[in-house]
Amino acid sequence: MTQTNEPNKETCAGNCAGCPSAAGCGDPRNANAPRDLPPKAKMSVKHVVLVLSGKGGVGKSTVSTNLAYALANRGYNTGLIDLDIHGPDIPKMLGAEDARLQSFDGKIIEPVRITGNLAVISMAFLLPERNTPVIWRGPMKMAVIRQFLEDVNWGDLDYLIVDLPPGTGDEALTVAQLAPNIAGAVIVTTPQDVAILDSSKAVEFIKKLDLRVLGIVENMSGFICPHCKEEIDVFGKGGGEREAKKLGVPFLGAIPLDPEMRKAADEGRPFIIRRAKDNPTWKSFDAIMEALVKEIEE
């Protein structure tokens, strides 16, 4: 079947403003359709870093949480937005599940303060019960994303880490259009081919938005047996680095598959704060944070 950009005269009915094909449509009714992007959210932040992946289950929220904590530990004023609206996990990973948001003057929202210079916003803070589902369509999600950016008392931020749901849908596109001063995006993947395939789509998504790919992080990269100390490639190893070279983007580093990482997330104590400098996983996170800051500064 041949596909064209010609409008369907019977179904279009001149609804150009809301049509995804408006930009390439030759219908004369489309001549005055608005094409301007929405205005950027008003907030004071030097660097916005998007964290996304092509598929779920690769440890994207774990990377976001530990990255934000690592930046805060370095003295940066850091904000963390959990934009996985349908499956918000970051409050659990930070030990802040019971926190609730407060607002002032009916509009300004106070974020949950984890440390003196680390604040977080999540849909989980608004739900009556931890198992309450969020059943929303795109427009409602877009509205709450602007609120999380613009109506929150973030103060003056050095970094804002945005943890996105898997894929390249509404949330990723909306925050890319609304957030000011986007330094770029970090793509999280695991080593196996099926994850690499999807992560490459996330890279191309960021490029199409004329944003910078700060680098790829390979999570669950090898496993060191705690008993025999032998390294086992459970999900393979090196796929993220090879894909970064192929796509011409930086490779920020690899994080081993570590049971202590899972334990830290379940306990609500980010792994990075343990400062176990003799631990290869801790070293990996610290090195990735340093590589990321270097990429932004350059």
Phi first, then psi, for residue 218 (nearest 5°) are -95, 110
Q: Is 198 left (phi over 0), alpha (psi -120 to 50) or beta?
A: alpha
18 is in an annotated binding site: no
What single letter denotes the amino acid at residue 41? A
60 is in an annotated binding site: yes
61 is in an annotated binding site: yes
Q: Nearest 5 degrees, angle CA 160-CA 161-CA 162? A: 115
56 is in an annotated binding site: yes
54 is in an annotated binding site: yes
Q: State the Cα–Cα distance between residues 249 and 214, nearest whole angstrom.
A: 7
Which three-class secondary structure state does DSSP give residue 108? Answer: strand
Alpha helices in the chain (DSSP H): 9-12, 60-73, 90-93, 138-150, 170-178, 193-208, 239-247, 259-267, 280-297
| Residue 192, token pair as written in the block | 């196996």
253 is in an annotated binding site: no
237 is in an annotated binding site: no
Contact 213, 203 (CB under 8 A): yes
9 is in an annotated binding site: no
Residues annotated within a binding site: 54-61
**Residue ranges for the binding site for ATP?**
54-61
